[in-house]
Amino acid sequence: MKNTVLVVDDEILIRKSLSRVLREKGYLVEGASTGAEGLEKVESVRPQVIILDMRLPDTDGLSVLRKVRQMDSLVQVIVITAYGDVQSAVEAMKLGACDFLRKPYEKEDIEMAVEAAARTFRQANELDLYRRKEKRRYTGEEIIGTSGPMKEVRDLIEKVVRSQATSVFITGESGTGKELVARAIHYRSDRAQAPLMEVNCSSFQETLLENELFGHERGAFTDAGDLKKGLVELCDGGTLFLDEVADMSMPTQAKLLRFIDYRNFKRVGGAEDISVDIRIVAASNKDLESDIRTGRFRSDLYFRLKVVSIHLPPLNERGDDVLLLARHFLREFSRQFQKDFRDITPDAARLMLSYRWPGNVRELRNLIERVVLLEDGRQLELDHLPAEVAGRRLASDHSIALPTLAQIEADHIAEVLRLAAGNKSRAARVLGISRQGLIEKLRRSRLLDEGGGRQVS
Ligand SMILES: Nc1ncnc2c1ncn2[C@@H]1O[C@H](COP(=O)(O)OP(=O)(O)OP(=O)(O)O)[C@@H](O)[C@H]1O
Ligand SMILES: [Mg+2]
């Protein structure tokens, strides 16, 4: 991966000569002629090294340096000072510049300074990623669950992270943990040192998503402004997580497909092919197959995305995982809110196991957060559960037996027969079936059977 150097200097000749020298050394070079433009570029191109002149037309170099430090704590800044201006060189070093050069400087000086700065950046970056990774492990982004389907999910993740570029497609209802799995794939793979970039395809309009993913050249379209690198480029070496991929427009799908096939792309309005090495993880809570049938999603793209697919079952199909998760969240929020919740009473546990959890793990997590925040005690009790969990119990809770479809049909037939005063021909007409059909149903549901079972009242 090439490092990018941003040269902030109002003199075009200096920018040009520095560009030439650094390009020869294999750097990508961007220029800015004012402090304001420089700050914009820090945001849009995310350089690793900045060469900053202390004297700028719109502002002084020190205040630019201060802002740069706030925006990006890792970027390395080399300041250029006028001959004899020791004071601002000292100030700049205090503010975190990595080096300074006095005018006039030699070509070799600048090459050495940039080389050292790029090296420092790489080390600082690695350290920073390592710390963040440690922190994440420490805060425990674990995937909880020992049920059969979750074991399968974990097995698949383990296999997938052994490969570097295999695309993964994650499906599952809202709140089942798709994002969690995508993060696990990134952070447990050898790509963990490089960035994970996430984009929600449903939150961008058509062309904006393409722009977000692939970036654009300076002035590629009205309002395009300066060059902007897209996420695909920024996460080189890492993982791109395309959330809600079903909402991607057809033109963007075509561009993504091309990218997957060739592993390179052009920025919007650009001519140069840019190659990057990334893994794509896509997720959807919708059934893409029906979008494919109706022509809203390309099947060729679908098959490239789902080289491996991981399905996350709804929470109520994971058995006792509900309680494992609930205890996990109890601990998490007890720590956070300094409470002492440790377990769940058997009554509450029974209800939680029989509830349908339409919002899946997210709903459970939110519920536990609310309980731990609002209630006190050591155990989560029946009374702590909200009405929707405590109220409508479902089939697996044997204290309330729900009717089967056959029972509902039999009850309905009995009711119609009663209204028709037992006249089977009239009842059959009302039910929209033949008289013979009605008799058949009556026999099957044993309504005709005098010996026992249900009787028509
Ligand atoms: N198996 C699990 N173990 C621990 N936490 C989980 C698990 N599954 C989900 N969570 C937590 O539940 C919440 C919802 O998960 P996540 O955001 O990954 O769901 P999602 O499938 O991406 O949902 P959506 O489709 O709505 O975006 C998160 O806080 C996540 O950390
Ligand atoms: Mg999500």
Spacing, Cα 174 to ligand 2 middle (Å): 7
pLDDT score, position 4: 94
Residue nearest to atom 15 of ligand 1 (CA): 177
Spacing, Cα 321 to ligand 1 middle (Å): 14
Residue nearest to atom 28 of ligand 1 (CA): 362
Residue nearest to atom 29 of ligand 1 (CA): 362
Q: Tell me which of 352 and 412 has the higher pLDDT.
A: 352
* Nearest ligand 1 atom, CA 179: 18
Q: Which H or E element spans position 81?
A: strand 76-81
Q: Tell me which of 403 and 75 has the higher pLDDT.
A: 75
Q: How far apart are CA 173 and CA 312, in angstroms?
A: 8
4-127 matches 405-444 in fold = no
Give the three-class secondary structure for 198: strand
Summarize the confidence of residues 163-183 as an average pLDDT.
95
Spacing, Cα 179 to ligand 1 middle (Å): 6
Which CATH code of 2.30.30.30, 1.10.10.60, 3.30.1310.10, 3.40.190.10 fits the domain covering 405-444? 1.10.10.60
Q: What is the CATH number of domain 318-390?
A: 1.10.8.60
pLDDT band of residue 134 (cuts 50, 70, 90) is low
Q: What is the CATH number of domain 147-312?
A: 3.40.50.300
Determine what percent of the chain is predicted with pLDDT higher than 90: 61
Is 72:46 a contact under the CB 8 Å cutoff?
yes
Give the binding-site residues of ligand 1, using a 6 Å CB cut-off: 143-145, 172, 174-180, 285, 325, 361-362, 365
Span 388-421, pLDDT tens digits: 888 754 444 444 556 677 777 888 888 888 888 8
Label residue 301 left, alpha or beta by phi (over 0 means left) and psi (-120 to 50 means alpha).
Answer: alpha
State yes or no: pLDDT of 453 exceeds 60.
Answer: no
pLDDT score, position 455: 40
Q: Tell me which of 375 and 432 has the higher pLDDT.
A: 375
* Nearest ligand 1 atom, CA 173: 25
pLDDT band of residue 433 (cuts 50, 70, 90) is confident
pLDDT score, position 166: 95
Label residue 97 left, alpha or beta by phi (over 0 means left) and psi (-120 to 50 means alpha).
Answer: beta
Which ligand is nearest the CA of 144, by number? 1
Q: How far apart are CA 326 and CA 290, in angstroms?
A: 34
Domain spans in the chain, listed from the N-terminal domain onward: 4-127, 147-312, 318-390, 405-444
**Strands across the sheet containing 99-102:** 28-32, 4-8, 49-53, 76-81, 99-102
* DSSP for 30-61, written as a single string: EEESSHHHHHHHHHHH--SEEEEESB-SSSBH
pLDDT band of residue 219 (cuts 50, 70, 90) is confident
Q: What is the residue-averaged pLDDT of the chain?
A: 88
Spacing, Cα 243 to ligand 2 middle (Å): 7
Summarize the confidence of residues 76-102 as an average pLDDT.
89
CATH top-level class for 4-127? alpha beta
